[in-house]
Structure formats: C-alpha cells, structure tokens
Amino acid sequence: MELYFLGTNAGIPSLQRNVTSSALRLLEERGTIWLFDCGEGTQHQILRSPLKLSKLEFIFITHLHGDHIFGLPGLLSSRGAQGATTPVTIFGPEGIQSFVETSLELSQSRVNYPLEIKEHRGGLLFEDETFKVEAARLEHRVDSYGYRVTEKDRPGSLDLERLESFGLKPGPLYGRLKRGESVEMQDGQMLHSSDVLMSPKKGRVVTILGDTRPCEQVVPLAADADLLVHEATFMNELEDTAHEYYHSTAGQAAKAASEANARQLLLTHFSSRYKDAEHLQPLLNQARDVFPNTRLAEDFALYPIHRRE
C-alpha cells in the first residue's frame, strides 16, 4: 500500500505543482489503484508517473470545486481510448453524476467500459473482505468530504518450524490451516490453525481529507490512522484568511493529527504563494512544532504506508 501524489497545489496549477490528485496504490492487495480527486491535468501527470489507468478501480471525489474535478472527463475518456475494459466506480457528493455525464455527453466522449457513479452523503461507502471505506462531511464552502480507508486485519503467517515439529510437509493442509481450519493428522489428532499461525497482520488505515476548516468530524475520520493527508493551504500567520476561505493552516492540520493519534501527517493543497520547497519549509516547521512526524506532499512522490508491528 502506497500513496502517490499527482498534484499538491490549491486552486490553480503552478509551474512547480499541479492541482489536487493522489493515487492509493493497492497493487499487492488488489492489483488496482484508487484515485482521490482529479484536478485538471491529472491524466498528464499520470503519463509522467508509474501509474497505469488500466489499473484504476475507484475514484473518490472530495468536493465539486474545479481544482478537484476538472480532470475527470478527459481521464475517463482517455482510459477508454487506451483499451481499458475493467469497471470504474466514482464516489462523490451530489452533483458529481450530472457533471460527469453532461461532460461526456456534450463532448461526445465514449467510455467503453462499465462506469458507475455513486453519489453519497457520507457513511459506509464500500466494504468487502479486505477493505472498508467510510466518509464524513467536513466544513467547506460546498459539501466536502473526507475518506477513511481501512484495511482489514489479515491472518498471520504459518509458523513453519512448528509445522515441521508436527511432521507436516508443504501441501494442501497448509492452505487449510492458513484459512483458519483444523486438520486431522496421520495419528488421528486434530491440529488447529491457532496452533501454527503467528500473530495477525494489523490492517492499515489511511485518511484523506478534502478542503476543510478545522471541524469536529476530522478526528473520528483520522483516529489512529497510519497516514493522515490534511490540507495546509496557509501558514499560521494567515489563520484569519484560512477561516474566511474555509481552509486550514499548517498548525491546525498538525493539531488535528495529534488529537487523532495519527502515526504520520502529510500536508498538501498549498497556496500558490508558496512557490517552492524553500517557501514551504516554514510551513513544515510550524506543523512539526505541534506534530513532529509531518512531511510535505510533493508531486510525483511515493509514500509507503507501513504495517504496524
């Protein structure tokens, strides 16, 4: 599980950064990628990245401001033109279906693969045997949502030394024990999976927020997250400006990470006034004063999400 950033700027693109989009790479877990927001130029960013549109499974839209959705029509139509046939599902606020369908219809764009659009107002959006995705509304000028992706715990690895001590050789019985079943050995005794399975592998939690002012919904969404992605449009000195425009400062993002007991904080959605890494360094310092394990998201940067021991 890795998070790859395709754009980290707020509002409009700059020479240094594109507008908002990030991809959760689940190649080992599902063989797919999940996209979060799709600002203008996202498909161009993907062309310069190791990502493949054919692997796209879900798109999660936080809100309907242009710097988060203007790249959708082009990306969807290009995916079809490249020959992708697997389904794509878009999750987003009310209005996302009208935007996508109208854009594709008026431009006479063809999508030759199953495309489903699910509008929501938060809550549980998706769940299967491996992952769960929940959403909650934040505080912005329009309905804006944060997403919490929870990977479910996985069974521990087989203890090969203990298996050998029971006289078992690799084969079908290994698979049954791995699945939690009990098996009968040659001497008639029952061997239970709990006897030979090591500790379960703890699932990871990633929380990716849309644009927001500080609000009470952030902490539950980010509680004990292994990675929190939080906007930090402004430095602390512009807290009044951030409040007026429904955004957050670096210090406010760090406070949220601390209160949520997150493991790592990634800041993104930077105002264009902070032109490069040098201008962003004070913003990073302000966040680290509150939450030391903070990093700045960068376009074309990959951030692994490590499993807890």
Residues forming a β-bridge with 134: 124, 148
Return the HEC string of the chain: CEEEEEECECCCCCCCCCECEEEEEECCCCCEEEEECCCCCHHHHHHCCCCCHHHEEEEECCCCCHHHHCCHHHHHHHHHHCCCCCCEEEEECCCHHHHHHHHHHHCCCCCCCCEEEEECCCEEEEECCCEEEEEEECCCCCCCEEEEEEECCECCCECHHHHHHCCCCCCHHHHHHHCCCCEECCCCCEECHHHHECCCECCCEEEEECCCCCCCCHHHHHCCCCEEEEECCECHHHHHHHHHCCCCEHHHHHHHHHHHCCCCEEEECECCCCCCHHHHHHHHHHHHHHCCCEEECCCCCEEECCCCC
140 is in an annotated binding site: yes
247 is in an annotated binding site: no
243 is in an annotated binding site: no
65 is in an annotated binding site: yes
Is 67 among the residues known to form the active site?
Answer: yes
192 is in an annotated binding site: no
Tell me the C-alpha distance between 3 and 260, whole Å.
20
Choose, from 37, 67, 226, 299, the residue flagged as catalytic. Answer: 67
Annotated binding site: 63, 65, 67-68, 140, 211, 269
- Catalytic amino acids? 67
Annotated binding site for Zn(2+): 63, 65, 67-68, 140, 211, 269
